[in-house]
Each structure stands twice: as structure tokens, then as C-alpha cells.
Amino acid sequence: MSTAMAFPDFFQFHLPVRIVFGKGLSKDFSAELSSLGVSRAFLVTEKFLHTLKIPDRIRQALESAGVGIAGVFDEVVPNSEVGLCERGAEAARKAGADCIVAIGGGSSIDTAKAINLLLSEGGKLLDYQGAQTLTRPLKPLVAVPTTSGTGSEATMVAVINDPDSQSKISLVDRYLTPALAVLDPELTLTLPRRITAATGMDALTHAVEAYVDIESSPFSDALAAQAMRLVARYLSKAVIDGGDVEVRSALQIASTMAGVAFNHSMVGVIHGMAHALGGMCHVVHGEANAMMLPLGMEYNLEVRERKFAEIARFLGLDIRGKSDRDAGLEGIAFVRQLNQELHDLAGLPTRLSDVGVSRDRLPEVAALAMTDGSMFYNPRDVAEEDVLAMLERAH
């Protein structure tokens, strides 16, 4: 067998979002805003962030750049629901907004994407389920993440809870991608330990899944690899000393890199299970991913041994002299050990039973996971009984 890398027959890489990074940047990003040509911003955020004065900080930055505030919608909650997005869009329309500014974690940015879609195009959110349903650009969306994990600031994906079907719906469209992502690690300095841990594991899961998925490419691989290196090296440090802006910078950059990576090669079986656990049992997204990550890696190992060996190296392990399979297994053991460390440091749950998932619901969770679009991109064909077995092992 040739030792040369096997390149895909075809790949593409397109990044419509302008990514800007700077410590303290969220106080003044007028130069970046001016190119958008907007004048009435509608802010989408979470009430909790007012206590940290973060929306005020962004409001001042917008106003000093000559962008007026059309309105503030601060009702975003973890796992935002369809009805909430529709209410937000109605408020944005009444306010005459010409752009949306998302401030917060993944839920804020995903909610803002859904609001922007409805503000620009009208109709009901469920009409836009699926992939590439839009035919023209939406209003500009600016994303200011306050966590490091989701990557949503750099992706075309929004995941919204649909209480009627007790599931998460995915909106995937290149026009949902923010026009501008403002990365300011200072906004993440006060993130609580458990959220730091969970969001960091979400970023790691994006990177691992992007790296092994069927649509991975040399471009997405490079970003996923660097994201893995940074998370492996800095996540525990960020939990221990959240006030260290260098460590926070590393995680924020890793999160966005992993976002760009999975925006191109998508996620797989681990996210399929995490979405079902979130939709049916309200398990926090990053925590669900953390619990399912080593099991999903084991599941995919047999079809991607070489890539899992490389993952072990990105995680900082010395794999010289080891077979690909053994190196891959060491990488998986590293992830288990990291989960345990984050459990000890931050109370990150390690079992589904710790977060209130009852065992008798697992067959339903497995069935729902099988309908998730992520499954399509997984490198190994996914069988429902295998998903159930992984969920049972995580219980």
C-alpha cells in the first residue's frame, strides 16, 4: 500500500464569514462593522449576560461606530425553541432592524440565525428545515461568542428545539453563516468551570468528527488538527484558571477553528446522539458530547485507524512505534482521562444517569438519533442497535 496521503477526489472550501480576533475587541470593532453598511442593529442575547454587562459593552461599541440599536431580545435560553425564534423575528421586524447581532453562547447565535432567516424571508421556521433551502443572502449577522465551544459564529448551521416533535431541527444553509465573527477572549474570562468544560468538549467533538467524517478534506483537517492540539493542551488549564486570557484565547481560537472544520465536513454519530439526548432529555449539548465522544471514537476506529492514530498525536501523545489501532486506542483513553479530569475539576457529568436520563428512554433516544442528519456524514454506517449499545454504556 502506498504511504502517500489519499486525497479526496473533490473538495471545496468556502468561508463567507470574516473572523476577527483581539483581546478587548468587543469594545471597539467599528472598522469591521463599517464594511457591513448597516445602521439599525437588533441584539439577540441571554438575560444572564446583563449581570456581566456584556450586552451593554457591545451596545456601546455599536453606537460609537454609528450603528443604532433597533431593539434587544434577551429571551434566549439553552436549547431555544421554534416559538421563541418566531417571537424574536417578529420583534426584530417591528423594530425595523437591518442587521442582527448575536451575543452569547451557541444557543444565542443559533437563535439569531433563525431570527435572521425569518426576519429576512418570513414564514414559519419549520418550513426551512433541512439543507440549502434559501435562494438569496439574508440581512448581515454579527456573532459575538461568549463561550468557546459551539463554533456557531463560523458555521452555516443552526440547531433549534422543536417541542412538538421533542426533537432538534437543523437548519443548514450557507446564507445562515454570520457575516462577521468578533472573537474577544475577554468575554469568556468569567465563564463558570462546568460551562468551560462542557463547551470545550463540544469543540473537541467538532474537531474529532470533522477529522474522520466522510467529507473531510485537507483544509478542514488542518483546522481540526490545530483545534484538537489547542483543546488538549489548554482545556483543563482554562477550567483551573479561567482568568488567564492567553489560555482563554487558545480555546476561543480552537472553538472557531473546529467550527470552520465541521462546517466543511460536518459532524457524525456523536452529534447525532447528542442532538437526540438534548431534544428528548434536555441534556446540555457539550455534556452529551463529552459523554458520547470516547464511545463514538471507538465505534469509528475500525474504519479510520490511520486518522485516529493521527488524532492521538494531535492530542499530544507519543505514538512512535505503535500500530495505528493501538495509537488510536490511546487517543480514546486520553479523552476518557480528560473527561475524568473535568469531572473532578468542574463537576462535568460522566454518565447519562447523572443528568436525569432514565434507562427506559434510551431506545427512543436511539431511534431519534438515527433520524439526525449528522449520521449521514459518519465514516461508518450507523446501526440503531449500535447506537443503543453506546447509549447504554454511557448510562
Q: How many residues bind Fe ion (CB under 5 A)?
A: 1
Scan residues 325-354 and list those touching Fe ion (CB under 5 A).
none
Question: Least CB distance from residue 376 to Fe ion, whole Å?
Answer: 16
User: What separation in angstroms does the CA of 384 have from each of 205, 347, 363, 375?
Assistant: 21, 30, 9, 11
Question: Please, which residue, 62 or 273, has the CB nearer to Fe ion?
Answer: 273
Nearer to Fe ion among residue 159 and residue 329 (C-beta): 159
Q: Does 98 bind Fe ion (CB under 5 A)?
A: no
Q: State the minimum distance, in angstroms, from the CB of residue 275 to Fe ion.
A: 9
Residue whose CB is less far from Fe ion, 62 or 277: 277
With CA atoms as reference, report the closest residue to 359 among 392, 382, 330. 392
Residue (of 15, 39, 56, 49) closest to 263 by Cα position: 15
Q: Cβ of 115: how many Cβ atoms within 10 Å?
A: 33
Q: Name beta bridge partners: 303.
A: none
* HSE-up of residue 387 (Cα within 13 Å, Cβ side): 28
How far apart CA 375 and CA 389 sit, in angstroms, is 16
Q: How far is the CB of 59 from Fe ion (least distance, A)?
A: 28
CB of 153 to Fe ion, least distance (A): 13
Write the interaction track for Fe ion spanning residues 9-48; mark x where CB under 5 A is met and - where it is not: ----------------------------------------
Smaller CB distance to Fe ion: residue 120 or 170? 170
DSSP code for 176: G
Helical pair 193-212 and 218-240, crossing angle rounded to 10 deg: 160
Nearer of residues 139 and 194 to Fe ion, judged by Cβ: 194
Nearer to Fe ion, 202 or 310 (CB): 202
Q: How far is the CB of 23 from Fe ion (least distance, A)?
A: 25
If we measure between CA atoms, which residue out of 186, 207, 373, 391 comes closest to residue 288? 391
The residue nearest Fe ion at its CB is 202
- Nearest approach, Cβ of residue 232 and Fe ion (Å): 17
Cβ closer to Fe ion: 270 or 362? 270
Q: Which three cell numbers stand for residue 368?
A: 431519534
- In the sheet that 40-44 helps form, which strands lie side by side, from edge to edge? 18-21, 180-183, 141-145, 99-104, 40-44, 68-73
Show contacts with Fe ion in window 192-221 (CB under 5 A). Answer: 202
DSSP string, 357-379: --GGGHHHHHHHHHTSGGGGG-S
Shortest Cβ 340–Fe ion spacing (Å): 21
Report, in Å, the least distance between residue 14 CB and Fe ion: 21
Which positions ≥6 away from 149 have C-beta within 8 Å?
105, 106, 198, 199, 200, 201, 202, 203, 255, 286
Cβ nearer to Fe ion, comparing 99 with 277:
277
d(CA 171, CA 128): 7
**Interacting residues toward Fe ion by CB under 5 A:** 202
